[in-house]
Amino acid sequence: MKNSRHFWRKWGGSMNREILLVRSNLRRARGQSISIAVLILLSAAMLNLWLMLSLDYKQNFDRCHDRLHAGHVTLAVDGDSKEVRPALTRIVEDMRAVDFSMEDSLCMVGSFAYNGGEVNTEMVFLEKEAALTRSVGRAEIIEEGDESSGVYLPMLYKTGDIDIGKTIELKIGSNTMEYTVCGFFNSVMAGSHNCILCELLLTQDQYQELEEKGYALRSTLLSVRIADKSESEDFEAALKSKVTAEFPGARVSSNSYAMVTTSRYISQMICSGIVSAMAFFILLIALVIIASNIVNYIQENMRNLGALKAVGYTSGQLVGSLMLQFLGISLVVAVLGTGISYLLFPYLNTMMISQTGIPYEVRFLPIPCLWTLMILGAAVAVAVWLSSRRIRKIDPILALRQGIQTHNFLKNHVPLEKTGMPLHLALALKNTLSGVRQNVTVCVTMLVLSLVVVFSGLMIENMIVDINPFLYMVVGEMADSCVNVNEGIEEEFLREMEADADVEKVYLFHLMNVGHSGGVELMASLCDDFTKVNNQSICIEGRFPRYDNEVAIAAKYAREKGLKIGDEITLTVGEQKADYLITGFTQLTNNLGKDCLLTREGYEILGDLQNLSFYLNLREGVDLEAFHEKTKERFGGNIHTTIDIQSTISGTASVYVTLLTIIVCAILLLGVVVIAFVLYLLVRTMLNRKKREYGILKALGFTTGQLILQTALSFMPAMILSTVLGLAGSSLIINPLMALFLSGIGIVKCTFLVPGGFIAAAGAGLVLLAFGIACLLSLRIRKIQPCALLAGE
Amino acid sequence: MKKTLLKTESLSKSFSSGGTLQHVLKNIDLELYEGDFTVIMGASGAGKSTLLYALSGMDTPTLGRITFGDQVISDLTPDELAVFRRRHCGFVFQQIYLIDGMSVMDNVLAAGLLADRNKKALAERAAKLFEAVDIPPQTRRKFPSQISGGEAQRAGIVRGLINSPEILYADEPTGALNSQTGLDVLNVLSDFNRRGQSVVMVTHDMRSARRGNRILYLKDGVILGECDLGKYVHGDAERHEKLSAFLAEMGW
């Protein structure tokens, strides 16, 4: 403390003197200070939210993972546990796992109604008590009722329709079971539809009943902890490969820590990206305004600053007073902003829990707070220091003699005798051209807000109004129905479907896993003819595979591994290996960018297909449920599962749609608030600076309305120009920016439709809004009296 | 018989200051005539400028009525007063008040174009007025900070006259100028008055006041007396004595 005081004095400071100057400055510009404070407040709130999301929210997964002693790799393999367990134990021990746990389970692809759609996933049924006492990967009950018989669901699925005491209908394979919901639980590695495996806990009686009915296959659930969790994907690939080799033909499903942690935190990634972008944009605007305010202050107070220097103030003291003023406001307000972020966080948390499925308790986090204060403090200090350096150059004598020079006298912009413009427009344009700082501030604000408008337009068009463009990009292939059949009835099934009047198109589209030699496990989409797939944009570069020795791989994965089109890669299934030529790059997010496309023949070099998934496009108006029933009746037990693809997707997608709708509304509202405050500052500064000029013009006969119009119009050239440029530029960069933003889930190229009409209308709306706000704020001109100009008696 | 341009009846103006009401102008009945150079004199705080604000429509009276021709201007709204000022009044200020960001020419044209005047005719009139006040074309393109105080005030007079106002109001027009420059400005005002321009000037300077043909002496918000000096002629010593005597009588 003593040292800091010594430093302050050495630098030329004396707190009392600086505080006097600060108080005087604040009194003069109370409104501007409040507006800057509001912008800093918003920025601090969002910065702290972003830091909490980045530094702690995702770490909650690790805390939960540790608390439940969860595995880093989870694998479910069909087969009686007595046969499977010894082999699995041997494999896992050979692979030097740190710890593992195995449990009897029942596995089957199943679905249930959720969020207005359907969840379709690999269901892993466990007996409740066994699941709660597993040594690795135990589940924990979050909520439960008095029901003694029924099902416990992952807490992610707790919605109005699914709640304790209510009945849920589960479609398990081609059968349907009804259960009473007894409660909700949390399982880190298998507690959501994003985890490939979805655990469902049954009470003992219900577990036994399901086992007896044989609707789901007896399986073994293995959870493995490894020493280095960063190797979870490699471990999973190796484990799966060994298990597949050990039990050829058995269905093996697995996930890894890396995959689950990424997929469960997509909403965190989206929110955190948007919040951080908005925080830094608003901070940038606030800094431009602070800098502009200081430059204005120096110009308008040149004589006063000269006088202060003349009476002995040093440049350091004068800069110090500005530093104290703006840093003081910023830090106090930043503390309030962090407080506000704690009020907002619970709402954000509620929204995100519907996707992460892991409960998060909002609590005070000192480190994000400190970072927020440091970032804001440092940014404001740099802005103040850079913009106030001019004070050092002020010569007291020159300043006292010359006073202010607020205009560029080198050029008369828009000479009235030559211009053909209407008078008020010409005078507004003069104002515009003489206010460089005003234009810079307007341009920065409008460029930022243009990006916000384009982003919002993109989200509204491609996710909220019509979600298909987004789904095509992230889901990949979509059709009306997916029917999984026994391999033996393939020919008959295809013949019948092609003859069925309800069916428009049928084609094989089956998902399998293959290993990449020297890489990780890839999810392979198999098709007998890729020209039949509905989404031809899956392949974003090169072409789909046509021959059995060709493969198209995920662009993200190819980048990571340095693979190019034309390279050859080795794929494996169990002990089988084959080389494939890369013909194209794909973009799918099913497996977070670890995917590939193979022809059916290409896959069959590596392994056999036990069952086959066919995608069907149905004719307009066909009742999908009735069609599925009809198909099941026709083929009986040879149909494993039927999936309503659209419904499945919409169930999950609605979570994102809701989240993005709220985010888009919030950022648009924030945009309006920002533009209002920026204009408030600019108009207020202009009115203060030009008070005398307005008085003169009023005395000459200009009406208040004419002066308001001139003032508002003076913002328009910079506003229109920057909005047009901003919208055009943002429209060009928004797709690459979105790709960068979504790169975490495997997106490398976005082809979202940029809604030109909406963006043009929103841009025009933005300009009109700004014009309206500028007019409203300029109403203060009414208070300027021309008689105040005349010399006092 | 002179034509009455403006007439006040029981004109009063009060200001509230620190909770007390200050009566600055009290029941003033006054007529301004066409072609006159009326000078309002008085000590500081007498209400000279307040009277000028009220007469010119820059401010509204607390009580009373002001009529310009057939128009009662004391009843007008602020915007109607603005239109009234641009059509019928010209102003010359003590602090000149040219707009810093506009060239001298633009300062004049901004006022002229406001009254919806034809631009060509306006430019011709501006050129004539600039010539009359001896401001050369190169000076007209300069900014106010680049010209002398005298030039600026003469440009201010051009601005005040650009719309051919019925009355040119001048508030201490020489107050911010040195004596020689002030003299030039007074010569310009006298010259325009000789050509028929009605002028109302507020001053507390005897040398300036001598230019008027009608002197009103204001004290404590009341017109205490009026003196008719007749038309100004350069070197008229008799006027000086007459004004001195009048002012002495008023207690100056």
Residue A17 pLDDT exceeds 70: no
Which SS3 state, helix, strand or coil, does residue A247 take? coil
CA–CA separation, A498 and B131 (whole Å): 98
Q: What is the pLDDT of residue A407?
A: 42
How high is the pLDDT of residue A4? 47
Helix H segments across A638-703? Answer: 645-689, 691-700
Query: A517, A694, A508: which is closest to A598 by C-alpha?
Result: A508
Distance of CA A172 to the CA centre of its chain: 33
Burial annotation B125-151 (CB, 10 A radius, 16+ → b, else e): bbbebbebbebeeebbebbbeebeebb
- pLDDT of A638-691, one tens digit each? 888 888 888 877 776 777 778 778 888 888 888 888 888 888 888 888 888 788
Q: Hey, what amino acid is at B124?
A: E
- Closest by CA to A641, choosing from A609, A604, A614, is A614
Angstroms from B232 CA to nearest CA on chain A: 26
For residue B208, CA distances in Å to A793, B217, B237 come to 17, 14, 14
CB spacing of B95 vs A789 below 8 angstroms: yes
**Average pLDDT of B172-193?**
87
For the ranges A127-141, A410-424, A690-704, B160-174, the lowest mean pLDDT is seen at: A410-424
* Residue among B46, B79, B114 minimizing CB distance to A423: B114
pLDDT digits (tens, 9 = 90+) for A731-782: 999 999 888 877 777 778 888 889 999 999 999 998 999 999 999 999 989 8
The pLDDT value recorded for residue A224 is: 95
- Taking CB atoms and an 8 Å limit, are B99 and A434 in contact across chains? no
Is some CB atom of chain B closer than 8 A to the CB atom of A427? Answer: yes
Span A131-154, average pLDDT: 92
Shortest Cα distance from A671 to chain B (angstroms)? 33
How far does the CA of residue A707 sit from the closest CA of chain B (Å)?
11
Cα separations in angstroms, A211 against A104, A108, A155, A200:
11, 12, 24, 14
Q: Which residues of A touch B115 (CB under 8 A)?
A: 701
CB A600 within 8 A of CB A508: yes
**Residue A133 structure tokens:** 């006492």
Whether the CB-CB separation of B35 and B229 falls below 8 Å is answered with no
- Using an 8 Å CB-CB cutoff, list chain B residues near A703: 78-79, 82-83
Out of A412, A695, A786, whose CB is closest to B141?
A: A412
Cα distances (Å, whole numbers) of residue A249 to A191, A197, A521: 27, 19, 17
User: Which CATH number fits the domain B35-48+80-215+223-250, given the four candidates 3.40.50.720, 3.40.50.1100, 1.10.3720.10, 3.40.50.300?
Assistant: 3.40.50.300
pTM: 0.72
Test the A interface: residue of B100, B119, B219 with most A CBs within 10 Å: B100
Taking CB atoms and an 8 Å cutoff, what residues of chain A touch B85? 699-701
Tens digits of residue pLDDT in A525-573 = 999 999 999 988 888 899 999 999 999 999 888 988 899 999 999 998 8
Q: Show the domains of chain A with their CATH numbers.
A: 16-58+266-406 (no CATH), 71-264 (no CATH), 422-470+649-793 (no CATH), 473-648 (2.40.40.20)
Of A409, A417, A696, which is closest to B97 when you measure between CB atoms? A696
Q: Which residue of B has its CA nearest to A698?
A: B82
**pLDDT band for position B202 (50/70/90)?**
very high
pLDDT at A406 over 50: no
3-state per-residue secondary structure call for A477-523: CCCCEEEEEEHHHHHHHHHHHHHCCCEEEEEECEEEEEEECCCCEEE
- In the predicted model, is pLDDT for residue A317 greater than 60? yes
Residue A21 pLDDT grade (very low, low, confident, very high; cuts 50, 70, 90): low
Residue with tokens 């990006």: A451
* Candidates B25, B96, B97, B158, partner chain A, best to mutate (most A CBs within 10 A): B97
Option in A786, A791, A793 nearest B95 (CB): A791
């662009």: which residue's tokens? Answer: A555
* Closest Cβ opposite residue A699 in set B45, B58, B115: B58
Residue A409, pLDDT score: 47
Spatial contact of B249 and B242, defined as CB atoms under 8 Å apart: no
CB contact under 8 A, A417 and B101: no
Instruction: Tell whether the model's pLDDT for residue A791 goes beyond 60.
Output: no
pLDDT at A13 over 60: no
**What residues of chain A lie within 8 A of the CB of B49, using their CB?**
790-793
Beta bridge partners of B31: B7
Nearest to A417 among B105, B111, B115 (CB): B105
For residue A207, what is the enclosing H or E element?
helix A204-213
Most confident of A23-32, A321-330, A409-418, A779-788: A321-330
The answer to whether the beta carbons of residues B218 and B49 sit under 8 Å apart is no
pLDDT digits (tens, 9 = 90+) for A184-227: 998 888 877 767 788 999 999 999 999 998 888 899 999 999 99
Which residues of chain A neighbour B87 with C-beta distances below 8 Å? Answer: 701
Length reported for chain B: 252
By CB atoms closer than 10 A (0-12, 13-18, 19+), residue A1 is exposed
A10 has pLDDT over 60: no
